[in-house]
Amino acid sequence: MLALINALALDKLLTSFGKEYAARHVRDGRIFPQYNIGGAKTGRFSSRDPNIQQLPSRKSQFRRCIVPAPGCVLIEGDFSQVELRACAEIAEIPALRKLYEEEGRDLHSETASRVHGEPIRKGDPRRNPAKAINFETIYGGGPAMLAYQVYKEYQIIISEEQALQYQNAFFGIAVGLRPWMRQQATLCRRRGYIEIGCGRVVEASWMKDGEIKYTQAVNYPVQGVCADCMMRALVYLHQALRGAGIRCQIINSAHDSILLEAAEEDAGQAIDLLREAMFAAFRETFPKASTRDLVELKIGRNWGEMQTVATPIRAAWAKSGRGEEHA
């Protein structure tokens, strides 16, 4: 049965992102998607023709097809756990805030460690279910959805009871989050709207059945404020790139990441500007939050094989000429 499920999933990927995708959407070697600013109720971007944001991240053979122009490299900046950081700020959870302030602590590892009763480090596959479940929990997911998400993301099978173990471990770390989620859902249903982002609201009347679901009440505020943070980052970055006069352009924004194409000789400066813009946007959006380990920066010759870089790296890149010393 699992083999059949995996085969069907692969067939769907090939249909969505295989030859038909290339034949329809690639012109002169480039893809030109349309971006819908505020395409979701939360204010998140969406894209279509093609939906480049849905290009599978864990199926890197697809992303390897996305390459820069000759003489250029791809640079990606990814906000680390920004939705969980946002949740800590919106719900004002001191324990979560403290976790992100302290060096060496990782929420997913700590959740997994509580479940298994021993230290779990990054790179340990036992951390993966915790990661999927931590995020699904702030989306308002129940036991069945938690277990499904673990399989969808990592092809790991766990029972609903095991999924609840992970979720309870997460709530044991994020003390006060579960009551806030319940109170938030009650408040939104009572007043008939959800506050999100910079003063925006989502009305109950906009919903298909005219009612606010629990999952919407607890997750829309998080998604909304993260959308604000990303928009600020893109604005700041666009201004910085124009001011610097370097050969670099923003080519994609997917979820909580920004993808650039930069000339090799300008890559070091582009990385610095990307990092600065993302940090500035986060600080403005979440003034009280820690920025420790906030942004992960990567560079590569294709989108599927990106190597993490340390910052600042401008001097090392300039010295190497072609970036061989960026690692």
Q: What is the pLDDT of residues 166-221, one digit of tens each?
A: 999 999 999 999 999 999 999 999 999 999 987 899 999 999 889 999 999 999 99
Per-residue tokens: 128: 């993966």
Whole-angstrom Cα Rg for the chain? 21
Establish if 130 belongs to a structural domain. yes
3-state helix, strand, coil in the chain (%, to 5): 55, 15, 30
Among 240, 200, 203, which residue's Cα sits nearest to residue 221?
200
Establish if 16 belongs to a structural domain. no
Residue 247: helix, strand or coil by DSSP? coil
- pTM of the full predicted structure? 0.88
Q: At 288, is the pLDDT very low, low, confident or very high (cuts 50, 70, 90)?
A: very high
Residue 43: helix, strand or coil by DSSP? coil
Cα–Cα distance, 74 to 264 (Å, whole number) = 9
What was the pLDDT predicted at 326? 34
Establish if 101 belongs to a structural domain. yes
What was the pLDDT predicted at 312? 52
Establish if 137 belongs to a structural domain. yes
Establish if 19 belongs to a structural domain. no
Residue written as tokens 């602590």?
Answer: 105
Among 103, 107, 154, which residue's Cα sits nearest to residue 135?
107
Q: Which range among 99-113, 145-159, 213-227, 313-327 shows the weakest confidence by mean pLDDT? A: 313-327
Q: At 289, is the pLDDT very low, low, confident or very high (cuts 50, 70, 90)?
A: very high
69, 87, 100, 210, 264 from 288: Cα distances, Å: 40, 13, 12, 35, 36
Cα–Cα distance, 218 to 229 (Å, whole number) = 18
Cα–Cα distance, 170 to 187 (Å, whole number) = 24
Establish if 326 belongs to a structural domain. no
Q: Where do the H-state alpha helices sit in the chain?
A: 2-17, 19-25, 60-63, 82-90, 94-101, 107-116, 127-138, 143-154, 160-173, 177-191, 214-244, 267-285, 314-320
Q: How many domains, in total, are found in the chain?
A: 1
Among 136, 89, 42, 120, which residue's Cα sits nearest to residue 291?
89
Residues in the chain: 327
Establish if 321 belongs to a structural domain. no
Is the four-CA dihedral 248, 253, 254, 256 of positive or negative sign? Answer: positive
Establish if 12 belongs to a structural domain. no
91, 159, 198, 290, 312 from 229: Cα distances, Å: 17, 36, 10, 15, 22
Does pLDDT of 300 surpass 80? Answer: yes
What was the pLDDT predicted at 145? 96
Cα–Cα distance, 281 to 235 (Å, whole number) = 9
Q: Which amino acid is at 120?
A: I
Does pLDDT of 123 surpass 60? Answer: yes
Among 310, 274, 278, 311, which residue's Cα sits nearest to residue 294?
278
Query: What is the average pLDDT score of the chain?
Result: 88
What was the pLDDT predicted at 316? 44
CATH number at residue 170: 1.10.150.20
Identify the helix (H) or strand (E) that includes residue 48. Answer: strand 46-48
What's the domain range around 153? 86-221
